[in-house]
Homo-oligomer: A and B are copies of this chain.
Amino acid sequence: MSEFEIDWARERRTGIAEAVLCDGKSAAQIEAILASAGERPLLLTRLRPEAHASLSDKARHDLDYDPSSATAFHGRPATGLLPGPGIVCAGTSDLAIAREAARSLAFAGWQAPIIADVGVAGLWRLMARLDEIRGFSVVIVVAGMEGALFSVLSGLVDAPVIAVPTSIGYGVATGGRAALTGALASCAPGLVTVNIDNGFGAACAAVRILKKFGEARDPGAHP
């Protein structure tokens, strides 16, 4: 029996197709997983450029790879996307994680615009784009440092807000614990959070909401 047991039924069961976290896996392991996938769609996350470069030509040819988000699509083009959640991003350094969320949503069939550089140190930047943000039915907020943006934005919109703390920062913010704590201890009611740097997880949470409440996509069918 193979050592790889892909959960192909996951999309039917939970609405979210199987994804492969590439950190900690060797090139040989990733290629074996791709081989076992055949034509079936698979999302690869945290596939660093070096790791991508170490794959075989065949494997690289089959993947739609985006280095800025370290994600790759296998077996499913990201076309015909529906309008999806808004992704609000505190700083330039948080963009890689914001893009992981956007790509994960694209893989699932939704187009998610990124509103960048709206950290609370210059509150007017957020205010200037508030109407735009209020137009989304789900909002993903990506922030590092102390994560004050999570609380501020949650107090300004009525949509579900999903926080993605990032590992951007130094000193007490090293590794993202400060931003995570900022999200969990928030004084703004109804804010939820995922793990540090987990843009993929936030996208999945948004997909659960969108699919359950009527904007569902036929898996694999966005033409």
Tallying the copies of this chain within the complex gives 8
- A184–B174 CA distance with the chains assembled, in angstroms: 12
Quick check: A160 and B196 within 8 Å, CB to CB? no
| A120-B151, A182-B146, A192-B193 known; A209+B9 contact, CB < 8 A | no
- In chain A, positions 77-96 with a C-beta closer than 8 Å to chain B are 90-93, 95
Quick check: A160 and B121 within 8 Å, CB to CB? no
- A49–B51 CA distance with the chains assembled, in angstroms: 18
Quick check: A160 and B95 within 8 Å, CB to CB? no
- In chain A, positions 170-184 with a C-beta closer than 8 Å to chain B are 170-184
Q: Does A23 contact B (CB under 8 A)?
A: yes
Give the A interface residue count (CB, 8 A).
Answer: 98
Q: Does A40 contact B (CB under 8 A)?
A: no
- A196–B174 CA distance with the chains assembled, in angstroms: 10
Write the residues of chain A forming the contact surface with B, with a CB cutoff of 8 angstroms. Answer: 3-7, 9-10, 13-16, 19, 21, 23-25, 29, 33, 46, 90-93, 95, 114, 116-125, 137-138, 145-148, 150-152, 154-162, 165, 167-198, 200-202, 204-205, 207-209, 211-214
Task: Name 26 A/B residue pairs within 8 A (Cβ), A-sorted.
Answer: A7-B121, A13-B122, A14-B157, A23-B170, A25-B93, A91-B187, A120-B155, A121-B188, A138-B212, A146-B148, A146-B182, A147-B182, A148-B148, A152-B152, A160-B208, A160-B212, A161-B208, A165-B171, A172-B184, A172-B195, A178-B184, A180-B184, A189-B201, A190-B208, A192-B194, A213-B214
Given contacts A13-B122, A146-B184, A170-B198, 13 further A-B contacts (CB under 8 A): A4-B116, A5-B117, A10-B122, A16-B189, A19-B189, A120-B151, A120-B187, A146-B147, A146-B181, A148-B148, A173-B184, A178-B181, A213-B214
